[in-house]
Amino acid sequence: MVTLTVARLVSGRVSVGRVGAVVGRNVGALRSGASYWLVLVSGFFEPLLYLLSIGVGVGALVGRIPVGDGRVVSYAVFVAPAMLAVSAMNGALSETTFNFFFKMRYAKTFEAILATPVRPIEIALGELSWAMVRSSVYTALFLVVMVVLRLADPVWALAAFPATMLVGLSFGALGMAVSTLLRGWQDFDLMTAAQFSLFLFSGTFSPVADYPGVLAVVVRVTPLYHSVELVRGLASGVPQWGLLGHAGYLVVMAVAGLWFAARRIERVLCA
């Protein structure tokens, strides 16, 4: 069903070349903008600092944590995959929220693009691809750090990498969809707050099973929870069939977000 929707959305009329041109525009912006690099680097270090301060630092005071099949792991090993998922989320979101909104509403970048053969869905796909590139660079580096710190086995780290790409994809799509709805910069405060809540309460720092009843239920419908479970399952080498459910959730979110964002770009800019 999902692949069918994707197929229809990306039916013959989508041009890979035009999507590539939208990605190329972002590569050009990266090349010419010095400040961009700063943002890029700082976005990577945030989850890493959390890993070191809380995972390793606070972890020294915390006991071992059970994962999946009855195994227990150190607190740092428990937190690291969560921070990996967070870095995938951050990488994708910083691209598809702030930058996307700026291009859509202020710089009129998309307006200019829409006067060319490029279509709204191709803009959305290009922006999303670019967000995934950024997110994947973050997670690849993060995985290297995890392996170096002996927080993950190299083979399982490799297995976790595609999962982090999926996390980037789905959060990128969600971010774009939300950005098309934002009215102005003031709404970014709301979004930052939402993002921080997800960061704190998605089974990141303690198992969701230990959360009080209602919170545990709420958390289970939010996207970072599924991302953390998926990434943790692979990174800590405890794959289960249940991971497919988490992956399915993320695929649906990616497709829905992409479709919605393309629709909104058309609505807003092609009036």
Partner 1 sequence: MSDVQPLVHARGLVKRFGDFVAVDGIDIDVAPGEAFGFLGPNGAGKSSTMRMISCVSMPSAGELRIFGMDPVREGPRIRGRLGVCPQLDNLDPDLTVRENLTTYARYFGLSRAQARARAEELLEFAQLRDRASSRVEPLSGGMKRRLTIARAMVNEPDLVLLDEPTTGLDPQARHLLWERLFRLKQQGVTLVLTTHYMDEAEQLCDRLVVMDGGRIVAEGSPRSLIESYSSPEVVELRFGGQELAGFVAPLDGVGDRVDVLPDRILLYAKDGDAAVSEVHRRELVPSSVLVRRSSLEDVFLHLTGRTLVE
Q: What HEC string does the chain produce?
A: CHHHHHHHHCCCCCCHHHHHHHHHHHHHHHHHCHHHHHHHHHHHHHHHHHHHHHHHHHHHHCCCEEECCCEEECHHHHHHHHHHHHHHHHHHHHHHHHHHHHHHHHCCHHHHHHCCCCCHHHHHHHHHHHHHHHHHHHHHHHHHHHHHCCCCCHHHHHHHHHHHHHHHHHHHHHHHHHHCCCCCCCHHHHHHHHHHHHHHCCCCCCCHHHCCHHHHHHHCCCHHHHHHHHHHHHHCCCCCCHHHHHHHHHHHHHHHHHHHHHHHHHHHHCC
Q: Given the rule CB under 8 A, which residues bind partner 1?
A: 13, 15, 17-18, 20-22, 24-25, 28-29, 32-33, 107-109, 111-119, 269-271
Residue closer to partner 1 by CB (options 214, 271) is 271
Residue closer to partner 1 by CB (options 15, 206) is 15
Nearest approach, Cβ of residue 102 and partner 1 (Å): 9
Nearest approach, Cβ of residue 42 and partner 1 (Å): 18
Nearest approach, Cβ of residue 117 and partner 1 (Å): 4
Residue closer to partner 1 by CB (options 31, 71) is 31
Residue closer to partner 1 by CB (options 15, 222) is 15
Instruction: Report how far residue 96's alpha carbon sits from residue 172's, in angstroms, rounded to the nearest whole number.
Output: 6
Q: Which residues contact 10 (CB under 8 A, 6 or more apart)?
A: 121, 125
Instruction: Report how far residue 185's alpha carbon sits from residue 202's, in angstroms, rounded to the nearest whole number.
Output: 26
Nearest approach, Cβ of residue 189 and partner 1 (Å): 24
Residue closer to partner 1 by CB (options 24, 248) is 24
Residue closer to partner 1 by CB (options 46, 111) is 111
Nearest approach, Cβ of residue 30 and partner 1 (Å): 9
- Hunting for tokens 């750090």 — which residue is that? 145
Nearest approach, Cβ of residue 188 and partner 1 (Å): 19
Residue closer to partner 1 by CB (options 29, 56) is 29
For 100, what's the count of Cα atoms within 13 Å in the CB-facing half-sphere? Answer: 33
Nearest approach, Cβ of residue 124 and partner 1 (Å): 15
